Structure 1
Amino acid sequence: MKGKIADGEARERLTIWIRRRMLEFGITFDALETSIQEDLAHPPLYRDARGHDWNGVGPMPDWLTAARHAGLDPDFFRIEEPKEGPQHKRGVVYRQADLFE
């Protein structure tokens, strides 16, 4: 396993890197926790193929504004709530795939 980083070592390096960036940008654990709680309270309502998302709070982001000006309905990007379960048709299961979660 020469030349490869073990999972534990990779995790440790990542933790050190994250802590340094937090110090560099003045991010506290309280601010991080508040941000996470805010994200959980306002989940995204719109998402494009590149993974940009918007929760409907605040001004419309540039990617969605550009799509609207190009003639696309913003509802095209609306994330659908899962229905009762996967839909079945002739033995095939149809469901909305979300590659960014």
Structure 2
Amino acid sequence: MDERKRDSMVAYLRRRMAQVGIKVADLAAALAEDRSKQKSVRYRNAFGDTWDGKGAMPQWLVQATSAGQSLEHFAAAKPAKKLVSRAPATVDWSKDPFAGTRLATARA
């Protein structure tokens, strides 16, 4: 997104927030609450149901474990670390024994 579009979007969002009565502090608090909820999730199923591992086990997890599924199956994965994009490795084709032969151009 270019800078002009971004500035336009920010201005639009601020205008709409003012119309509805939402303050920046309210928005920041809501985002912080969402982040803390996501961090506390220890188990999750395919439908998005979650459990933090505290208190009674929810019904969906009780049913799954009594049906034979392991608790580890539902363990929420930790967020993956961002991978640094690297340039693709260059290949030295000068020592390719099949260069120039039919095998070099054959399709699988």
TM-score, with structure 1 as normaliser: 0.43
Using the size of structure 2 for normalisation, the TM-score is 0.41
Please identify which structure carries the higher strand content: 1
